[in-house]
Amino acid sequence: MRTLALTLIFATAAVFAQSNATDSALEGYVVDATQAFVSGAKITARNIRTNVASNTVTSDAGYYRFPLLPVGEYEVTVLATGFREYRQSGISLAVGRQVRVDAALQVGSAADSITVTADASIVETGQTASGEVINSRSVRNLPIVSRNVYNFNLLGPGVKGIPSTGFGTTQFTFGGTSRASWNTDGLDNSQRRTNRQIRLVINTPEAIEESQVLSNGYSAEFGRAAGGQINIITRSGTNEFHGSGMFLYRFRDLQARPSLAARNPERTWKDAAFTLGGPILKNRLFFFAQYEYNPYTLPTAISISNANASALGLPASELGNSPFGEDFRTSMMKVSYQLNDKNSGFFRYSRFTNEQPNGAGGLTVPSRGVNFLDRMNGGAFQLATTISPTTLNEFRFGINRRHELRDAVGLPSSGNPAVDIASVANIGVNPLAGVENIEQSTQFIDNFTKTTGKHTLKAGTDIQLTDYKLNSSLDRRFTFQGVAAVAGVRGAVSPLDQYLNTVRSVIDPATGRPFTYTQLSLQTGDRFLALNYKFLNFFALDEFRITPRFTLN
């Protein structure tokens, strides 16, 4: 066998458009030495990491297309009667991109081959969407303090960040529009119960293969979002075992002191993570697992004076520091499969937990704090079926569930009020104690793709059912702000004395009645709320390649 090896950028182009939710598209034309189109040529696209191959044939116009290829690096082989075998490697496919690889065949025996090594990701002949793809190398190596992979989307064109102090609550605007569609592995990951654009399940950098943000111009398949598209593709296993480990520790003495603080806060921040992936059955079944533990502690000082604490009869446990922090745990397991030459897909389970103890501090005593518990779970399944070399179907199913609960630290929330004594102390029960939110989203997606002649036709259905339940807390809050002086009767009464006189039933000489609160906030009604959302979406599109250089969508 004679092999000709070349290293160059050859007849390759990438059209950047959001064509697929989880995969990439590979297309091109096959011609002979006279630039005549070659029909009936067999095209094979092989994934370098998994050795999984897909096959198709060229049309009468010499055109071929793979509409659904998982992201990764590929090698393309072209075989046609009377011509040398053509092979091109180094083809990088990113999520949602269409890469074009044309092949010029030479007359000869199939036993001879022409090998071209090219980087197919650096030449673009057209662009219909405004966006950015952050690949796995950048995701795992770019510095990011919060360990929140969604912050990378701020690098996209047309994206403007909105300040947010919460972990995992990165927010954006896209050309002034704040609503966005958060997608993970082609399934919606958006929270519906609030106007805040936030995802339901969090992913960390070690679990991500690629992160894509699109500002506008994306495919009809994603028309349900008025703003931008944020697409996350999770990592998969390959034919080789691979893993990683990480441990981060932020030393207090090396952290910058807040400008108005006398000394550095007593805070600690650690982060440990590991990944492991590889084959279960070579060329057929692969796994990838990820786990991250991220504890953060910041004891918060109680600023109630000793004199006021003594007057209120507060025990020593209500003074000093209040324990505060956040305890994040993120995990993901994904199993990818190639059942046969026609069926492939994956199963994925993701989990994120966040525990915030107490949350008191300042004038709020620890017993008025709340323990915040946040649980997020997400599952996904995909089956891609090759019905024929030019006909494909993809089915996806997913469930995302988030459960938030705030438990009272001290007194039971039921029947006990909150008491705010201005500039003195906040005691009693936290008004948020007992609040519980549960949101669950169930989604079914089925898309059908047909390539015929110069047309690539695609149509699909997206059904999404969302259930939201709220168990709220009926706020009972007494506020003491002090009483003004009454000339000739009595002087001004401080908020502390107003409270003490009220609980002791002391008579106010100015009114002849017992002292009382300044304000009472009392909520009544049904504490329970249940909402159901049903979304039914359809789309159809035709990508008409009129000439090799002109495409109409």
Q: Concatenated DSSP letters for 278-318?
A: EEEETTTEEEEEEEEEEEEE--EEB---HHHHHHHT--GGG
- Residues 517 and 91: their CA atoms lie apart, in Å, by 73
pLDDT exceeds cutoff 50 at 338:
yes
Whether 264 and 353 share a structural domain: yes
Whether 91 and 149 share a structural domain: no
- Residues 327 and 354: their CA atoms lie apart, in Å, by 5
- State residue 134's pLDDT score: 78
Whether 266 and 366 share a structural domain: yes
> In the listed set 178, 211, 234, which residue is the last one of a domain according to the structure?
234
Choice between 286 and 97, residue whose per-residue pLDDT is larger: 286
Whether 345 and 209 share a structural domain: no
Whether 144 and 209 share a structural domain: yes
Question: CA angle 201-98-141, nearest 5°?
Answer: 50
- Residues 418 and 410: their CA atoms lie apart, in Å, by 12
Of the ranges 3-12, 114-123, 407-416, the best mean pLDDT one: 407-416
- Residues 506 and 48: their CA atoms lie apart, in Å, by 83
- Residues 425 and 307: their CA atoms lie apart, in Å, by 12
Question: CA angle 211-26-174, nearest 5°?
Answer: 35
- Residues 344 and 326: their CA atoms lie apart, in Å, by 39
Could you give phi then psi for residue 52, rounded to 5 degrees? -85, 130
> For residue 549, is it within any domain?
no
> For residue 454, is it within any domain?
yes
- State residue 475's pLDDT score: 83
3-state helix, strand, coil in the chain (%, to 5): 10, 55, 35
Residues in the chain: 553
Tokens of 40: 């009936």
> In the listed set 127, 149, 181, which residue is the last one of a domain according to the structure?
127
Choice between 526 and 165, residue whose per-residue pLDDT is larger: 526
The mean pLDDT of 324-334, rounded to a whole number, is 91
Whether 37 and 137 share a structural domain: no
- Residues 308 and 425: their CA atoms lie apart, in Å, by 8
pLDDT exceeds cutoff 80 at 427:
yes
Whether 148 and 91 share a structural domain: no
Tokens of 354: 């966040």
> For residue 550, is it within any domain?
no
Whether 340 and 465 share a structural domain: yes
Question: CA angle 292-296-300, nearest 5°?
Answer: 165
- The parent domain of residue 490 ranges over 482-517
What type of residue is 369? G
Placement of tokens 């007593």 in the chain: 266
CB 205 within 8 A of CB 149: yes
The number of folded domains in the chain is 4
CB 495 within 8 A of CB 481: yes
Radius of gyration of the chain from Cα atoms?
Answer: 31
- Residues 505 and 512: their CA atoms lie apart, in Å, by 12
Tokens of 201: 């399940």
> For residue 40, is it within any domain?
yes
- State residue 169's pLDDT score: 54
Whether 276 and 343 share a structural domain: yes
pTM: 0.82
Tokens of 365: 């005593």
- State residue 6's pLDDT score: 37
Mean pLDDT lowest for which of 28-42, 139-153, 384-398, 438-452? 139-153
- Chain segment 371-420, per-residue pLDDT in tens: 999 999 999 999 999 998 889 999 999 999 999 999 888 766 666 789 99
- Band the pLDDT of 530: cuts 50, 70, 90: very high
> In the listed set 234, 263, 295, which residue is the last one of a domain according to the structure?
234
> For residue 373, is it within any domain?
yes
CB 183 within 8 A of CB 230: yes
- Residues 183 and 96: their CA atoms lie apart, in Å, by 12
